Amino acid sequence: MPARLNLVILGKQGAGKGTQCKRLASIYALPHVSTGDILRAAVKAGTPLGREVASVLEAGALVSDDLVIKLVEERLEEPDARKGALLDGFPRTLAQAEALERLLGGDGIKLCIDLEVPTGLVTERLSSRRVCQECGAIYRDSDIEAISGTCEKCGGDVIQRADDRPEAIRQRLEAYERDTEPLLAFYESRGLLASVNGDQSPDDVTDAIQAAVSARGLA
């Protein structure tokens, strides 16, 4: 494996990026760097920044590039990211992608995986998603009926996040089409884009991603 294996995982909200990053983190021994998790931690901490982030997330909008870039830069400087990272939710805009190139320099992005999932399917996934407030475990609304809204893993409360409600979902998908889809052309022009069908079993998606990585001689 190269000294640094930096992979960008793109896809609409609900495409399965988080699920696949957790699997790939184990396979490649790389940290899963999720800007969503970083931002939600700030919200939970109740800091002034966290309160500012909360209002943005509840509206289904995107946090400013400058703030996200700073958070990611700090994360990539941590010891566990020395060999690379799985970037989930970053970059989301061309400005962020260009900033990431400047930040990583010669150890830049090795591959960008685009998880292709139809809009109707991701909308269904998001609207039925429930999340544990304590450990972040993800459930479907049918699961919650069986466990009475309590997380089976830690006993925490399982809720529907504000950004998984219908209006927020619509706004998030519109923001993705406007701000993030242009990144596909950005990475394709650099010969770094690999598309994977995300509308299949999680195991099959993982296998397809590993095949794409291996095809580039990265692992």
Just list the catalytic residues.
17, 92, 129, 161, 172
Q: How far apart are CA 11 and CA 36, in angstroms?
A: 14
Question: What amino acid is encoded at 6 in this protein?
Answer: N
The H or E element spanning position 174 is helix 166-175
Q: How far apart are CA 107 and CA 2, in angstroms?
A: 10
Contact 126, 98 (CB under 8 A): no
Question: What amino acid is encoded at 158 in this protein?
Answer: V
How many helices and strands in the chain, by DSSP H and E?
10, 8
Q: How far apart are CA 73 and CA 57, in angstroms?
A: 21
Q: How far apart are CA 194 and CA 49, in angstroms?
A: 35
